[in-house]
A and B are shown apart, each in its own frame.
Chain A
Amino acid sequence: MSYGILVNSSGGFTQIDATYDNLAVYASGTVNSSYVNAAGTGGATNKVAFPANTPADWCIFAKPTTESGDHLLTLAHYSDGTGFAFFNTWQNSTVISVSWVIAVRSRDMPTNNNPDFGLEVNKSNGEQAFSSNNLNFRCEQVSFDTIVNTQTSLSSFSVSDMAGVYSLMNGKTILGAAPSGNQFYSILYSFFSRFEYTPKTIRGFAAPVALASYGATGQFGGGTKTNLIGRFK
C-alpha cells in the first residue's frame, strides 16, 4: 500500500485502509412513518426527499426514534427516484417517529468547507477513503436469508445494546402474494425490519403491505435479503 493509512484491530480486521471506501452519512434525520388504511382509501404518506446531488448508489438505514417496544418498518422508494418513506404493515395505522440515515461511499461525500480536526485517508487516485469529519458506519452484524414458501420470520440478531443501532432498509422488495381471509382478495407481502427492544433483537420479517386482486397461488417466497445492522460514529 503506497498511499494512505492502515489501521488493524487486535483481531486483524482492517478498520481503515486506503483501498476501500467507508460508508459515511450523507444526511440523516427524522420522519413519521406512513400507512395506508385497511380500506385503501386513506392514510398518511410522509415522504423524505433526497437532498440535492445525492449519489445514486445510496444505502438507507433506519431505526425507531424511541428505542422501546416492538416495531415493524419497511422502506418504500418512490419510483420517480425523488424520495422515500417508511411504512407500517397493511391495516396498521400506528405512526411512529423514524430516525433515518442516507449513507454513501466516502468518495461520494460532498466537500466539507468547514472541516474539523482529525484524519483523512485518501486512495492512490485521490478519492477519499475515510474522513473523521464524517459519521462512518460501524458494521456490527450481518446475515443473509433465502425466503421459501410462506416463511415470515427470518434470521434474528441478538443485540446486547440496542442504543443507536440502525438496520439497512433497502434491498427489500415485494415478496409475493398469499390469499387473504376472504375470497376476493390476495395480500402482498414484503420484507420488514423488526425492532424488538425488550428481547433486544432485530430481525427480518415478511408481512403484508397491501391488498391485491384475487389470483394468488397461496405461496410467496424465492426472495433473498441481506440483514445488516450497525451504528454511525
Chain B
Amino acid sequence: MIKVALIKSNGEVAYTVSPAVDDMYVDGQTYNDCIAKHIDHTANDAVVISTWYWDDKWKTREAKSDDWHDWVDNAWCFNSIDFWDFVRGQRNGLIIDSDWTQVTDSPLSSAKKTEWARYRQALRDAPETYSYATSLDAIIWPTKPR
C-alpha cells in the first residue's frame, strides 16, 4: 500500500492520496498538473500538506500563517493585491450598509448625517491610512455613529 503526495508547480503539496492499488500513481509522473511523489504511508497527511515542500527533495517549512501569503520561490511572500482586495471588499460592505444615512429622505438629523458622512469618509481613507498593514489585525475600522 502506498501513499502519494501530489505536488504543485511551486513545490507545495496540493493533496495526498492513498490509492486502492499501487499502480494508480507512478512516482514522478504528472497527473493534472501535479507531480506524484510516493511518500511513507505512515506520514501524517495534514503535516505533509502544511509543512513539506518539494525542491528536488523533500524540505520542510513553517505552516502558512494567514491568507495573505503565497508560496513563491520556496518562501512565503505577502500578497498585497489579495490582501487589499479583501480589505476593500470589507470596506465597501460597510459603506453600503450605511448608504441609507445619506439619502435625501433619511430620517437622520443634519448633524447625524454629517457624523455618518465622516464615518464613511474614514472608511474610504482606510487603505491609505493603513497602507503599511500586512494583516487584518493592523486595520481598525472607524466606529459607527450611534
Say whether B89 contacts A40, CB under 8 Å: yes
Chain A residues positioned under 8 Å from B97 (CB to CB):
181-182
B62 within 8 A of A: no
| B82 CB contact (under 8 Å) in A24, A42, A182 | A42
Interface size class of A (residues with CB under 8 A): 35 or more
Any chain A CB within 8 A of the CB of B67?
yes
CA distance A31 to B14 in the complex (A): 7
Stretch at the interface among A15-23, A104-112, A158-166, A214-222: A104-112
Q: Are A24 and B20 in contact (CB under 8 A)?
A: yes
Which one of A2-10, A48-56, A149-157, A199-207 is at the interface?
A48-56
Min CB gap B80→A, angstroms: 12
The complex places the Cα of A42 from the Cα of B70 at a distance, in Å, of 12
Inter-chain contacts of A97 with B (CB < 8 A): 45-46, 49-50
A122 within 8 A of B: no
Instruction: Name the segment of B21-29, B53-61, B113-121, B124-132 touching the other chain.
Output: B21-29
Residues of A within 8 A of B20 (CB): 24-27, 109-110, 112, 134-135
Q: Is B85 touching A42 in the complex (CB atoms < 8 A)?
A: yes
> Is A170 positioned at the interface, with any CB of B under 8 Å from its CB?
no
User: Among B21, B22, B34, B90, which residue has its beta carbon within 8 angstroms of that of A49?
Assistant: B34
Tell me whether A28 and B15 are in contact (CB under 8 A): no
Contact pattern, B 93-137, Cβ under 8 Å of A = 1, otherwise 0: 100110100000000000000000000000000000000000000
A31-B14, A41-B86, A182-B97 are known contacts. Are A112 and B21 too (CB-CB below 8 A)?
yes
Please name 15 further chain A to chain B contacts, defined as beta carbons within 8 Å, in addition to the given A30-B16, A31-B16, A111-B21, sorted by A numbering: A26-B19, A27-B17, A27-B19, A27-B24, A30-B45, A31-B14, A32-B49, A37-B89, A38-B93, A41-B89, A48-B17, A97-B49, A97-B50, A109-B20, A182-B99
Q: Which residues of A pack against B, CB within 8 Å?
A: 24-32, 37-44, 46-49, 51-52, 65-66, 82-83, 93, 97, 99, 109-114, 134-135, 181-182, 184
